[in-house]
């Protein structure tokens, strides 16, 4: 089956855009790694999370984690085109980041931070999937007209097959009637009467 030239161009765009989103994803991972490598975030000292009671936990730090991983989840969703894989990669990156922070002076690994990472990644992946974000998903509209054409062709083929079967059935009935007529005419010939 020959595809129109725009189909081939769309395939090229898909590979190119996915490559760009993979590059964005890797850049985000590098930035997150760099930010978690220092004991100060942009020159602001980060107090130890166990110094605060749980109710006084600053929501800005969790929001920061969620926003970082929202961006990463979105980029991974666009790069992979597979929400489950993108979320798994974002969760893995969050896990590696939290373990890395356990070895950085003035930082520590925290399950709350990882949960914020996971929540942000999930939201980002959902956003990318909800927008028909991958080039493959955006190409779905032209493919739907192709699918309609294929459905029409299939329906026509089934209709022709049904007509052919009906014609064969009528031909078989006609041959059977001719055969029966030939047999009755042989039995009624004057030489056969006793």
Q: Which domain holds residue 163?
A: 152-192
> What φ, ψ does residue 44 adopt, rounded to 5°?
-100, 120
- Considering its fold, how many domains does the chain have in total? 2
Burial 145-166 (b: 16+ CB within 10 A, else e): eeeeeeeeeeeeeeeeeeeeee
How far apart (Å, rounded) are the C-alpha atoms in residues 167 and 13? 49
pTM of the predicted structure, to 2 decimals: 0.55
Q: Which residue has the higher pLDDT, 60 or 136?
A: 60
> What φ, ψ does residue 102 adopt, rounded to 5°?
-65, -20
The answer to whether residue 190 scores a pLDDT higher than 90 is no
> What pLDDT sits at residue 7?
53
CB 69, CB 124: distance < 8 Å: yes
Please tell me the least confidently modeled range out of 38-52, 60-74, 102-116: 38-52
Q: Which residue has the higher pLDDT, 99 or 174?
A: 99
Statement to judge: residues 29 and 111 lie in one domain: yes
Among 138, 164, 179, give the residue marking a domain's end.
Answer: 138
DSSP code at position 53? -
Statement to judge: residues 134 and 176 lie in one domain: no
Please tell me the least confidently modeled range out of 10-24, 91-105, 126-140, 172-186: 126-140
Query: Is 147 inside a domain boundary?
Result: no
Statement to judge: residues 12 and 96 lie in one domain: yes
Helix (H) or strand (E) holding 6: helix 5-37
DSSP string, 36-51: HHSSEETTEE---GGG
């Amino acid at each position: 089956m020959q595809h129109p030239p725009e189909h081939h161009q769309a395939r090229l765009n898909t590979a190119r855009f996915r490559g760009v989103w993979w590059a964005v994803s890797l850049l985000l991972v590098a930035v997150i790694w760099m930010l978690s490598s220092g004991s100060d975030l942009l020159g602001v000292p980060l107090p130890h999370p166990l110094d605060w009671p749980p109710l006084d936990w600053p929501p800005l730090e969790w929001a920061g984690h969620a926003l970082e991983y929202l961006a990463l989840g979105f980029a991974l969703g666009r790069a992979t085109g597979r929400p489950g894989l993108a979320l798994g990669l974002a969760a893995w990156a969050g896990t590696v980041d939290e373990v890395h922070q356990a070895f950085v002076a003035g930082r520590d690994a925290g399950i709350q931070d990882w949960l914020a990472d996971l929540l942000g990644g999930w939201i980002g992946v959902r956003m990318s999937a909800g927008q028909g974000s991958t080039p493959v998903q955006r190409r779905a509209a032209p493919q739907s007209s192709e699918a309609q054409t294929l459905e029409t062709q299939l329906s026509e083929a089934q209709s022709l097959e049904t007509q052919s079967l009906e014609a064969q059935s009528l031909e078989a009935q006609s041959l059977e009637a001719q055969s029966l007529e030939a047999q009755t005419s042989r039995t009624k010939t004057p030489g056969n009467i006793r």
